Amino acid sequence: MNTQAIKVIYKYEMMRAWETLAQSFASPVISTVLYFVVFGTAIGSRIESVDGVSYGAFIVPGLMMLALLTQSIANASFGIYLPKFTGTIYEILSAPISFVEIVIGYVGAAATKSFIIGLIILFTAGLFVPLEIAHPIWMLSFLILTCISFSLFGFIIGLWASNFEKLQLIPLLVVTPLVFLGGSFYSVSMLPPAWQTVTLFNPVVYLISGFRWSFFEVADVSVGLSLAMILVFLCICLIIVWWMFKTGYRLRQ
């Protein structure tokens, strides 16, 4: 494996993040703080607790997951789309490196940036409400798996997109609504039985539920099922990326 090529791609992507620090780190953190202030203050004053957890603390995993999913997709999709837009993707493809090394470099950088954002949001949330993480190892595991999985998903979107508008199409019209409807700010058990059944078809529910369990040992679905869903999604993304490079889909145009 060409580790030097991976380092070059990884360092370049991380340098781009530091050069646009306000956009890469400050913007999602400020947005999350605003969500926290609005939901935690306006709604939290009327809802004392959910499943024995104060509402302000209850929404922290959901807010983190919202930021992780959107930032992982945005970082990875833009990272690989920019070389396509400028035409430098052909230099990368003609270089003596495999698609595995390309994916590790771009996805690794995107996942790292999302992971840092997640930790910053966690620290920021701790300034508003007292937080106790019941299972820190599981929390980090869910955090890392989510960052990698959705960075891969963003990488796929970046390869698929033919213009800048398409980069925002799926995150805005699909991912963000799924996060809001996936129990970010409420427990699925609070819904009527019919809506609970419908909500369980939302894959984001399993991500948020498992992540929230690592904080408070409270979950809408079993932790094993949550972990299985993340791993299945990760495998699907890996298969799609492999197929896109093998067939040259949107790469040989």
pLDDT in tens, 16-28: 777 766 666 777 7
Write out residues in the chain with pLDDT < 50, as ranges: none
Q: Is residue 232 part of a domain?
A: yes
| Distance, CA of 216 to CA of 197 (rounded, Å) | 23
pLDDT digits (tens, 9 = 90+) for 197-229: 888 889 999 999 999 999 999 888 999 999 999
> What's the rounded Cα separation, in Å, for the pair 101 and 107?
10
Do the Cβ atoms of 121 and 32 come closer than 8 Å?
yes
**What is the number of domains present in the chain?**
1
pLDDT, residue 84, reads 87
Residue 167 in any domain: the answer is yes
The answer to whether position 120 is within a domain reads yes
Does residue 23 fall inside a structural domain?
A: yes
What share of the chain in percent tops pLDDT 90?
Answer: 40
Residue 175 resides in a domain: yes
Is 245 within 8 Å of 99 (Cβ atoms)?
A: yes
Predicted pLDDT of residue 41: 67
Place of tokens 């950088």: 109
For residue 252, being part of any structural domain is answered with no
Cα–Cα distance for residue pair 153/8, rounded to 1 Å: 22
Tell whether 253 is covered by a domain: no
Please indicate, yes or no, if residue 133 is contained in any of the structural domains.
yes
Q: Which pLDDT does position 165 carry in this prediction? A: 85
Range of the domain at 239: 3-247
Task: Tell me what pLDDT residue 40 has.
Answer: 65
What is each CA distance from 83 to 47, 104, 113, 155, in whole angstroms?
Answer: 48, 16, 19, 12
Cα separation, 54 vs 244, in Å, equals 45
- Specify the pTM: 0.91
